[in-house]
Amino acid sequence: MAIDCLVLGAGQEVGKSCVVVTINGKRIMFDCGMHMAYNDHRQYPDFSRISKSCDFNNAIDCIVITHFHLDHIGALPFFTEICGYNGPIYMTYPTRALAPIMLEDYRKVLVDRRGEVEQFTSDHIAECMKKVIAVDLKQTVQVDKDLQIRAYYAGHVLGAAMFYAKVGDSAMVYTGDYNMTPDRHLGAARIDRLQLDLLITESTYATTVRDSKYAREREFLKAVHKCVAGGGKVLIPAFALGRAQELCILLDDYWERMNLRVPIYFSAGLTIQANMYYKMLISWTSQKVKETYNAFDFKNVHNFDRSLIDAPGPCVLFATPGMLTGGFSLEVFKHWAPSEMNLITLPGYCLAGTIGNKLMSGNPTIELEGTKIDVRCQIHQLAFSPHTDGKGIMDLVKFLSPQHVILVHGEKPKMATLKERIQSELGIKCYDPANNESMCIPSTHYVKAGASDAFIRSCMNPNFQFLKSGSEEKSVSGSKCTEGTLPLWIKDERVAEGILVLEKSEKAKVVHQDELLLMLGEKRHEVQFAYCCPVNVDELEKFTTTSLTPTARMLRDPNKSSLIRLLVAKLSRKLSEGNIQDFGEHLQVESFHLSVCLKDTCPYRITNGLEDKPRTAFVCCTWSAADDKLARKIISAMENRDLVET
What are the pLDDT digits (tens) for 244-303?
778 888 898 899 999 999 999 987 655 666 667 777 887 887 777 766 656 677 888 888
Confidence check: pLDDT of 13 > 50: yes
Q: What is residue 112's DSSP assignment?
A: I
- Let me know if domain 2-209+386-442 sits in CATH 3.60.15.10: yes
Element of type H or E holding 553: helix 550-553
Q: State the pLDDT confidence band at 467, using cuts at 50, 70 and 90.
A: low
With 60 as the cut, is the pLDDT of residue 373 above it? Answer: yes
> Which of 635, 620, 507 shows the shortest CA–CA distance to 570?
635
Catalytic residue among 13, 104, 116, 202: 202
- Percent of the chain at pLDDT > 90 equals 46
Helix, strand and coil content of the chain, in percent to the nearest 5, comes to 30, 25, 45
Distance, in Å, from the CA atom of 589 to the CA atom of 582, rounded to the nearest integer, reads 9
Active site annotation includes 340: no
Euclidean distance between CA atoms 183 and 597, whole angstroms: 76
In this structure, are residues 22 and 50 in contact, taking their beta carbons and an 8 Å threshold? Answer: no
Determine which helix (DSSP H) or strand (DSSP E) holds 135, and give its type and residue range. Answer: strand 132-135
**314 upstream amide cis, omega within 30 of 0:** no
pTM over 0.85: no
Integer Cα distance of 579 and 329 in angstroms: 78
Cα–Cα distance for residue pair 420/426, rounded to 1 Å: 10
Cβ neighbourhood burial of 78 (10 Å; 0-12, 13-18, 19+) = buried
Band of pLDDT at residue 400, cut at 50, 70 and 90: very high
Condensed to tens digits (0 to 9), the pLDDT of residues 513-539 reads 778 888 888 887 888 999 999 888 777
Q: What CATH number was assigned to the domain covering residues 213-381?
A: 3.40.50.10890
